[in-house]
Structure 1
């Protein structure tokens, strides 16, 4: 009975948190279009989250391109279809692997950073001081950060995809003696409008989810300094789970749309 009660309490806490996050999201959209607009802070956050994540995203994308090509090439060689390698890698990376892996990397790097930063501001009462001084901390801290992640993630996905394709080309260049022009001509010939647009659109939703969850966990951080680490950790876990849900819904909607 105690085990059942524990499960019920955890489920209730989870549903309460979902409701609070929904209210937090509605509050974000209510504030994002209202002046004043903190453009200077938004630009600073875009630089912090975009430029400082570039190296990590690039390294991750490069390794993905290498590994995906090295793992897939032997199988395609068995069926005599190694010439399809650029098309297969291009479609896989642009459609799915690039956006979701980049988003997961950013969830770990950006989401945890936002959760820890806002959490430390909450426990040291800096947010309370901003409220007392008449400043709108939600607009200055939350709206700018969530918008910055939303705007920067699609750009990081583009960079990550390009570097991943370059990594795949290096393997093909060494293993199959394929030229740069031939490889990327095959990649772009295989890509269609329906491959690029849905992947780009869902990248914006990935960024919004990472930004909102990170801000939510940090903004309502509790239990002193110990809560800062918990806020950073739960921001990564919760946003990663949300990314997979959004990705599934995006694929489902795309499949239904193109099936009409």
Structure 2
């Protein structure tokens, strides 16, 4: 009976690093293929609308609940700290800045990555392992154009819209809490809240949402489109899509915040 020798730690780490860089190279090629295909006909407008409906409309209930609760909870948590300094009048401004600059795009991106990213990864993964993608190629249909490009465009277009919707719901939840405790009118809440908001704040939030949406779409499609090892690979593709998309969203958040801060007065 042969005893299996344990591989040295350095060799294992080297293998993992090699696999990581190979995966990054393959992802770069996948993104390049997307940018080449997105500008070439045929243009699958019906499929883009269908995927936009799946990404946007079907996510509204979760976004609505999360956005409203986020506004209420953040306001409740911020009030005691401001009350110690007698600065509760600054609460609308603080909440508006936090929601528009950070909470709305980040929370929307994370929710979409969890809900939509896993769905895309599992859907394309199951099509890959059951050879449906190969069948589309035989039938003279471009599967990359029909499956990948449409889904990436849908997430890129819809995540910014979901972010704006969530920001409005979060501000509505904040107003309900502020009005219940300080009896602040709606007009006063809006005036105080948006007093410190400028164009750069809104632009950076929309930019982050566009980048987050593209990241969710391209990562999920890449994982699903390159699924192997049958049904086990489908589950791995769905899980990896969510984890990798969320990780990149945090990295992109840091980078975009740093860049936009250079342009602030």
Match of 1:49 in 2: 55
User: Where does structure 2 lack aligned partners over 5 or more consecutive residues?
Assistant: 1-6
Aligned match for 2:15, one of 1, 9, 15: 9
Write out per-residue CA displacement over residues 52-85 of structure 1, whole angstroms, 9 at most, x where no aligned residue.
0011111111111111101110110001111000
Q: Of the two, which has the highest radius of gyration?
A: 2
- Structure 1 residue 33 and structure 2 residue 18: aligned? no
Q: Deviations over 1:151-202 (max 9, x none)?
A: 0000000010000011111111111111122111211222111111111112
- 1:117 is matched with which residue? 123
- The alignment's C-alpha RMSD in Å is 1.0
The farther-off stretch of 155-164 and 8-17 is 8-17
Distance 1:44 1:16 in 2: 33
Tell me the equivalent position of 1:179.
Answer: 185
- Partners of 2:65 and 2:114 in 1: how far apart? 15
Aligned match of 2:3: none
Give the counterpart of 1:250 among 222, 239, 256: 256
Match for residue 232 of structure 1?
Answer: 238
Q: 1:88-128 deviations in whole A, cap 9, x for unaligned? A: 11011101111011100000000000000000000110000
Q: 5+ residue gaps in structure 1?
A: none
Q: Distance in 2 between matches of 1:35 and 1:136?
A: 10
Q: Residue 36 of structure 1: SS of its match in structure 2?
A: coil
Q: Which runs of 4+ in 1 moved over 3 A?
A: none
Q: Which has the higher helix share?
A: 1
Task: State how many pairs are aligned.
Answer: 259
For residues 24 and 75 of structure 2, what CA distance do their matches in structure 1 show? 40
TM superposition score normalised by structure 2: 0.95
How far, CA to CA, are the matches of 2:29 and 2:193 in structure 1? 43
Partner Cα separation in structure 2 for residue 27 and residue 60 of structure 1: 35
**What does 1:1-260 correspond to in 2, within 5 Å?**
2-258=8-264
